[in-house]
Every structure is written in C-alpha cells, then in structure tokens.
Amino acid sequence: MVAEALDADKVDAFLYDVTIDSLAAVGSSNRPMARLQQWLGLNRVPIANGGYDVEVFEQGISYRTGRAEHDPKVAVGLRQRLGAQSILAVPLRVGHERGGVLEVISAQPDKFSDDDVHFTEAVARWVGMVAHRAELAERVACESAL
C-alpha cells in the first residue's frame, strides 16, 4: 500500500540482524523491482559496507536523493543493476531501539517530495509500533509456555 501511495517501484522494511551485522529486507513489496532486488542479492546491507541505509540506521536521520547515479552513498548495484534513481530511507525504531530502515525506491528521477518524507516517517513509526507489539506478544507467549 505504501508503494501505491507513493507511486514507487519498491518499498522495503530492512531490519537489523545482529547475527550477520546487516540490515535484511523482511517486508518487501511484491513488485518487479523488489523481485529483481532479491534475485541480485541486494536484499541485505552489511553494516561494514556503509552507505546511506547504514547512515540512516546508525544516525536516525532520514535520507532522500532524486539522482542516485550521482550519489556516492548509493551502492553501484542499486544504481546500475536495479535502476534506482530516487531513494527515500527513514529510520525504523522498534520500541526504544534502532530497528532498521524503511526504504522507498523509484526508477524515476526526482520522484519524492518533502511531504513524501513526512509520510514515510509516519509509516515507519507505525511499522515500528506494530513490530514492537509483536515482539512483546511473542515474549508473553514464551513466558506463558514455561
């Protein structure tokens, strides 16, 4: 629904996976660009590689570009193989913890506006709350089973 609302080619929820020290796409939209991303292996972002997604995750500051081909923070695979032009990434907090990044991508240049940033940040807050509640429910279920 977020991809439709923003007329984007792909939306991902990248969550931090401590076991591989990477951001891993767990909630990708079902669109051709998202399927290509998985096929290319671009659905994981090692923290050690840096880039805009890692900065958003570590610093908690949203990022937007409309000309990915000129942005050194954008991985070559995203630009050249995936065809990403416009990228919007916002921090995703789960409870009081850094949880990951909500990312929106379009093949069109200069696609996303300031309003789109605010909308995506609101969506990320909602996704973070839902993920936190799911974690709490899982904990309660595990403790009840003991």
**Domain at 2-145: CATH code:** 3.30.450.40
Q: Where in the chain are the domains? A: 2-145
C-alpha span between 95 and 128 (Å, rounded): 7
Give the pLDDT mean for 7-11. Answer: 91
Reply yes or no on whether the pLDDT at 19 is more than 80.
yes
Share of the chain above pLDDT 90, in %: 66
C-alpha span between 91 and 54 (Å, rounded): 10
Q: DSSP letter string over 34-61?
A: HHHHHHHTTTEEEGGG-SHHHHHHHH--
C-alpha span between 75 and 52 (Å, rounded): 9
At position 143, the amino acid (one-letter code) is E
- Full-model pTM: 0.87
